[in-house]
């Protein structure tokens, strides 16, 4: 697939500027019609999308639908249900000193949006953010990842079948195309990827003071306390760690297990992995592959320290790395120094919960945080830590609730989306005071003869 040239990008951007200036995208009926077209196109291309996800990542149809296609369809339905209410001006309280004025907030589209998506959930992460941009009334340029070229090509066909490029366009390519895009002026940049590239995006956006939403990643901790239901915890951790072969920004990155239950927990996680994928996991139709051979080699190096108690099988040519549990892990090991982004689960032990919280708080703020234990203890644990989101007695499920804001904090990102938050992310909230002319109180004007009276109201 050829890279989109600078000339084509500049023509595309100019066309979108002109189209946005026509104000057509601000019409709520137009937005609803666009969302309806978008949903119809996804349903039409569903089999092509799932086939492409299998080609690039070996995702089964079931996983592709559950973690990619259905999430976007649900997001569209949520926006179709609520958009007319979201776009209405919101009346605001007006203080007495502004009498007889009234106040309201109106929501207008930011303008031309640039949306970058990574390769791990190439359909969901590009198209889900697009839903919010459409709802807000923006024009959009989409930039999929070149590391999943089959999915990128199908998405290009889907978008072109549903929308004119002057409204929603898509460009293809790698870092050179990214550099071209960084030198263009947009009204918002929405980026999902690593913190390292997020810094590059933010630096480029700063040239034009372009607002950004950065959905990044990091090391999301998972804590299993002594009073947990071990059977449930083991099953849910095994699931969260191996969905998409662990290539999820909110996957449980490492596990802190209470010393009294660690051995039993590890055994049950291993048992559940075999229940899900069979004794020969490589042959399972439900276990995906790592994105490329370079990623497998990187992950393989992370398994050199500690004791592998389950898995550890690697086939670089097949881009296969089995679910792997590593015990006897120390915090200075390489596997604890970078986001794993693969099916490797390092296990550490704790006796007192405070030592775990001290470790988590001493490191970068994570995108997700998972705690297995009593609700009473969970309340205290979450009060003493921070993260973009999280779960109590489960993993990853918060991303599926469209009524929850999703996003990072600190090194794991800035800005939120999903549901109403997506609409707000691509909107300018504009505060308006409407002052009638039938009464004009003199208190605010010089020479302030009644300033003592004015002070009583302000």
**Which residues are annotated as catalytic?**
215, 249
Could you give the count of Cα atoms lying within 13 Å of 283 in the half-sphere of its Cβ? Answer: 4
Q: Which two tokens stand for residue 338?
A: 């970078």
Q: In 70-136, where do the E strands start and end?
A: 90-92, 102-109, 112-116
Return d(Cα 194, Cα 215) in angstroms, integer.
8
Cα four-point dihedral sign 362, 364, 365, 367? negative
Nearest to 210 by CA among 192, 235, 191, 189: 189
CB 67 within 8 A of CB 243: yes
Integer CA distances (angstroms), 276 to 85, 214, 236, 249, 426, in order = 43, 34, 11, 21, 40
* Residues 21, 27, 29: CA angle, nearest 5 degrees: 145
Q: For residues 141 and 115, is the Cβ–Cβ distance under 8 A?
A: yes
Burial (CB < 10 A; 0-12, 13-18, 19+), residue 419, is buried
Distance set, CA 384 to CA 102, 180, 353, 357, 409 (Å): 42, 43, 11, 7, 15
CA dihedral 105, 111, 117, 121 (to 10 degrees): 50
Beta strands 212-215 and 413-414, pairing class: antiparallel
Q: What are phi and psi of 215, to 5 degrees?
A: -105, 100
Within 13 Å of residue 256, how many CA atoms lie on the same side as its CB? 24
Q: Measure the CA–CA gap between 105 and 99, rounded to whole angstroms.
A: 18
């Amino acid at each position: 697939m050829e890279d989109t040239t600078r000339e084509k990008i500049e023509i595309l951007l100019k066309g979108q500027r002109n189209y946005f200036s026509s104000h057509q995208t601000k019409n709520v009926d137009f937005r609803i019609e666009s969302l309806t077209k978008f949903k119809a196109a996804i349903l039409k291309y569903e089999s092509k999308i799932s086939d492409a996800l299998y080609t690039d990542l070996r995702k089964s149809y079931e996983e592709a639908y559950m973690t990619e296609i259905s999430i976007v369809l649900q997001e569209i339905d949520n926006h179709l249900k609520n958009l007319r209410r979201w776009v209405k001006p919101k009346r605001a309280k007006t203080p007495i000193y502004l009498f007889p004025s009234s106040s309201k907030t109106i929501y207008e589209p930011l303008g031309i949006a640039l949306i970058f998506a990574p390769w791990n959930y190439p359909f969901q992460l590009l198209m889900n953010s697009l839903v919010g941009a459409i709802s807000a009334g923006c024009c959009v340029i989409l930039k999929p990842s070149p590391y999943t070229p089959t999915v990128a090509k199908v998405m290009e066909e889907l978008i072109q079948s549903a929308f004119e490029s002057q409204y929603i366009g898509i460009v293809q390519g790698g870092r050179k195309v990214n550099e071209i895009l960084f030198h263009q002026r947009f009204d918002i940049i929405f980026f999902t990827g690593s913190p390292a590239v997020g810094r590059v995006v933010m630096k480029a956006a700063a040239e034009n003071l372009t607002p950004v939403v950065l959905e990044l990643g990091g090391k999301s901790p998972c804590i299993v306390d002594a009073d947990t239901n071990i059977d449930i915890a083991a099953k849910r951790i095994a699931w969260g760690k191996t969905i998409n072969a662990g290539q999820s920004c909110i996957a449980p990155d490492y596990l802190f297990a209470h010393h009294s239950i660690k051995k039993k927990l590890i055994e049950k996680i291993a048992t559940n992995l075999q229940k899900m994928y069979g004794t020969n996991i490589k042959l399972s139709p439900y276990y995906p592959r790592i994105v490329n051979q370079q990623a497998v080699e990187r992950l393989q190096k992370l398994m050199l320290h500690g004791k592998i108690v389950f898995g550890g099988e690697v086939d670089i040519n097949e881009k296969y790395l089995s679910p792997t549990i590593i015990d006897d892990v120390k915090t200075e090991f390489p596997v604890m120094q970078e986001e794993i982004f693969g099916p490797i689960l390092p296990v550490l032990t704790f006796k007192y919960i405070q030592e775990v919280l001290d470790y988590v708080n001493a490191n970068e703020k994570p995108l997700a945080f998972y705690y297995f234990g009593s609700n009473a203890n969970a309340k205290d644990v979450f009060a003493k830590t921070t993260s973009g989101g999280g779960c109590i007695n489960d993993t990853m499920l918060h991303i599926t609730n469209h009524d929850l804001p999703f996003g990072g904090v600190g090194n794991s990102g800035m800005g939120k989306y999903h549901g109403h938050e997506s609409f707000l992310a691509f909107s300018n909230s504009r505060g308006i005071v409407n002052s009638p002319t039938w009464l004009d109180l003199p208190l605010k004007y010089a020479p302030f003869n009644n300033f003592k009276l004015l002070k009583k109201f302000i």
